[in-house]
Amino acid sequence: MSTGGGGQDGMTGNPAIPDAHPRSDEAEVLDAALRQFRDVLNADGYSLGWFIEGQNRLVVRITAGEGACAECLVPAPVMKAIMSNALSSTPYTLDRVELPAAS
């Protein structure tokens, strides 16, 4: 499993997992595909991170910061559709989206 996706939320690797850090080209492709959504979520008090699970399967994790706008976060099915669409130009497919518990 590789991890990555913007160090803002601490998803930058796990030393207990072999090859825990993504190749720089993987990180660049995924960060570029998700940048727009990371910026929007950050404006509402959320962080977006990701990690690779299995072959080209991406897990997107959204975490709420202090004072996050709970009503600003779209429902899980909508978020999954948005993230799947964002990844369509990459060799990666969405495995799942992990949302804050209150969502």
Residue 103: inside a domain? no
Range of the structural domain that residue 15 is part of: 2-98
Express as a percent the part of the chain with pLDDT over 90: 61
* pLDDT tens-place string over residues 21-62: 567 888 899 999 999 999 999 999 999 999 999 889 999 999
Give phi and psi for 97, each to the nearest 5. -115, 125
β pairing state of 46-52 and 57-64: antiparallel
89 Cβ contact list (under 8 Å, min separation 6): 33
- Cα angle 76, 81, 86 (rounded to 5 degrees) comes to 125
Q: How far apart are CA 32 and CA 90, in angstroms?
A: 10
Per-residue pLDDT for 11 more than 50?
no
Domain presence at residue 69: yes
> Nearest CA to 29 among 13, 52, 7?
52
| CATH code where residue 70 lies | 3.30.300.130
Q: Dump pLDDT digits (tens) for 52-71.
A: 998 899 999 999 999 898 88
The number of folded domains in the chain is 1
pTM for this entry: 0.75
What is the residue-averaged pLDDT of the chain? Answer: 81
Q: Is residue 68 part of a domain?
A: yes
